[in-house]
Amino acid sequence: MPALIKCCQSCLHKISSKTSRVSIMFVLTIVTATFEIIYGIRARSNSLIADGLYSFAEGICLIGVILVLHYSRQVKHHEKKNTFGYERLELLFGLSQEVFLLSISLGVIVDAINHLVNPIHIHDPKLLIYLGAGGIVIGILGVVLFESVIVVMSGLTIHFVPHIDPVTGKEINTWLKYIDPILTLIMVVVIAVHAIPVIFSISTVLIENVPRGINTQDVMKEIVAAVPAIKKNNKFVFNYFRATPKEIYATLHLICDEDVMLSTCTNRYGKEIQNILKSYCVRYFTLQFEYVQPRQSEELVVYNCAYELLRKRRGHTLDDPMTKSAKNAITHI
């Protein structure tokens, strides 16, 4: 017994790294999916085929996790190609997995309804139970490896349904031919209900939406109230987004009076804005201060406008009054 405990501890120590655990889970998931699809086709079981396809979708997500772990160990080697990092790679593969799940679910639903209308006999129902039990074991192993709850939908059929006639000794599956498509529909509904919110959640992160529960107008009003120098202009650009599931970014383009010193903006105003953003769980932020220039004379405004018109040369002709006045102003410089 002590030798067995030491052996288990040694095995756990060898797979202590995240990459090893994810790789083991990936291999087991793909092997299980292959067996489920092959024997599902052989036994004519929709639930087993669907579970195998869903396992393949889980394998796609695990590939993304492996790539993220690989790039995270070699940040210096890849920082020239991607200075932001590869944190969103896992989100991309997660979104691909959920979309793949929904695509599979549509085909499985149609096939399951067809089998309900035109039922077929399932061959070797014991095999379904064995493979389904194997899927549960792999799911439990995933819980042990990652210390989290992993929902594994397995194509288990109800084992107490009799498949042998006690009189003739022949195999029967009168009820099983209806149970299999019913279990398939239940499994598909559960997965679809879980996948649709995940797709929306990942999509909001990828398109850099404002995190739920945050009102940007309230944040802007609080910043304006805390910094009187920008209250006079009441005009600035504020971007608030979630770059990864755990990290919130913010960028502020503030316009201050010209008589405010830059050191005052960065030191005093910057710290006040920093405290406000921290209260909204902002981890990274960028502040850009600009000044309001004094009002220029109308003649100088004409010169600037003329320069822009002559430089761009779009949408204006020499017959336009504005272009003529601008041209005359330039000739008198």
Domains, the chain, with CATH or none = 2-206 (no CATH), 216-291 (3.30.70.1350), 298-331 (no CATH)
Average pLDDT, whole number, for the chain? Answer: 67
Annotate 264-296 with DSSP letters as a single string. Answer: HIIIIIHHHHHHHHHHTT--EEEEEEEEPPPPP
- Please give the distance of CA 330 from its chain centroid, rounded to a whole number: 55
Selection from 200, 290, 197, 205 nearest residue 249 by Cα:
205
Show the CA angle centred on residue 302, arms to residues 297 and 307, nearest 5°: 130
Q: What is the pLDDT of residues 19-50, one digit of tens each?
A: 777 788 888 888 888 888 888 787 777 777 77
97-145 tens-digit pLDDT:
788 888 878 877 887 787 777 776 666 666 667 776 776 777 676 666 6
* CA–CA dist 25, 19 (Å, integer): 10
Bridge-based pairing of strands 248-256 and 284-291 is parallel
Supply the DSSP string of 94-140, one letter for each residue: HHHHHHHHHHHHHHHHHHHHHHHHS--PPS-HHHHHHHHHHHHHHHH
Closest CA to 63 of 23, 17, 21, 103: 23
pLDDT one-digit tens code per residue, 267-303: 777 788 888 888 888 878 887 777 665 554 444 344 3
Q: How far apart are CA 142 and CA 14, in angstroms?
A: 16
**Are 117 and 81 spatial neighbours (Cβ–Cβ below 8 Å)?**
no
pLDDT at residue number 264: 67
The pTM score is: 0.56
Number of H helices and E strands in the chain, helices first, is 12, 3
Element (H, E) at 195: helix 176-206
Structure tokens of 7?
Answer: 């052996």
Q: How many CA within 13 A on the CB side of residue 246?
A: 2
- Which run of H or of E encompasses 34? helix 18-43
Q: Are the CB atoms for 173 and 125 separated by under 8 Å?
A: yes
d(CA 285, CA 272): 13
Least reliable range by pLDDT among 7-11, 53-57, 69-73, 219-223: 7-11
The per-residue pLDDT for range 300-315, each reduced to its tens digit, is 344 333 333 333 444 4
Are 93 and 64 in contact by the 8 Å Cβ rule? The answer is yes
Reduce the DSSP state of residue 253 to 3 states and report it: strand
Number of residues in the chain: 333
Residues 32 and 152: beta-carbon distance below 8 Å: no
Name the 3-class secondary structure at 300. helix
